[in-house]
Chain A
Amino acid sequence: MNANLQFDFIVDKENSVLTVIREFAAEPQMVWDAYTKKELLEKWFAPRPWTAKTGHMDFREGGHWLYAMCGPDGEEHWARMDYQSITPITEYIAQDLFCDAEGNPNTALPQSEWKVEFKPTTEGNTVAHNTIKYNSLADLEVVLKMGMQEGLTMTLEQLDELLGTMKNK
């Protein structure tokens, strides 16, 4: 992890809103692509050791990304990111919901609203503001119980080590 890059994680318990602010050493166009193109999203969206795969991608207002979080033991959790409004390279708003492999929504599981904004810095970097609104904090726990805990067993030190070896390639 680069200590020089801004990272803020703010939890508004009262309103069940998570705000994750992160600076990236890349220009807005590149960050925008990483957030909106399936082949790039698949490379980072799932926390390790989980991986993401795409069932369908139609990045436009009214379109959606149908994706699965795939676990190390072969388990799959399908979800959909429904794009509601898009302002290229600046921001988008989407509804994230769980579904089956065909994209049929599972209304029993929590939904969240994502607003992602991208702001250029004077150094040529990009700051991404991720605002995620849940119906309740309890919903967040359900999301965690879907299996993401396993991604946490890897300590940050191990992660740094892994990133180090990947950069050397």
Chain B
Amino acid sequence: MKLRRDPFQAIADPTRRAILVLLATQSMTAGAIAKNFDVARPTISKHMQVLQECELIEGSQEGREITYTIKAENMKAIDQWLEQFRKIWEDRFSQLDNLFITMKKEKK
């Protein structure tokens, strides 16, 4: 059985977010990614594993190294989810617009 995790679990951690930022512009090997962080290599490997399980990145074996690439379409799911939040605010503020119309009428 394939283990599938929630993408929000992936982005809950600052190191994993930083890894995604690095991968947003280019594909990188695990070694090259690790060089950007002041933490032990196994810790980075663990983060890479979580990101992979959440299907936000994918790795391909090239010789002895694994090269990681961001999965743009799955990052999009996060954007779509954020879009819902935007709608909540739009709704809230439409109600507020309406309230101002009422308040102005009462003032007259």
Residues of A within 8 A of B (CB): 1-2, 5, 7, 9, 11, 13-14, 18, 20, 22, 24-26, 30-31, 34, 40, 43-48, 130, 136-138, 140-141, 144, 148-149, 151-152, 154, 156, 159-160, 163, 166-167
How many A-B pairs with Cβ below 8 Å?
Answer: 94
Task: Say whether B17 contacts A22, CB under 8 Å.
Answer: no
Residue on A with the closest CB to B107?
A30
- How many residues on B have C-beta within 8 angstroms of the other chain's C-beta atoms? 30
Flag B64-108 by CB within 8 Å of A: 1 or 0 each.
000000000000001001101111111111111111110110000
* Partner of A156 from B85, B90, B95 at Cβ < 8 Å: B90
Given the interface contacts A13-B11, A14-B17, A137-B12, does A44 sit within 8 Å of B85 by beta carbon? Answer: no
Contact between B89 and A9, CB atoms less than 8 A apart: yes
A159 B97 Cβ-Cβ under 8 A: no
Q: How far is the CB of B59 from chain A (nearest CB, A)?
A: 22
A149–B84 Cα gap in the complex (Å)?
8
Residues in B neighbouring A159, C-beta threshold 8 A: 91, 94
| Distance A7 CA – B94 CA, assembled complex (angstroms) | 11
Q: Given A24-B97, A24-B100, A47-B92, answer yes or no on A9-B11 (Cβ-Cβ < 8 Å).
A: no
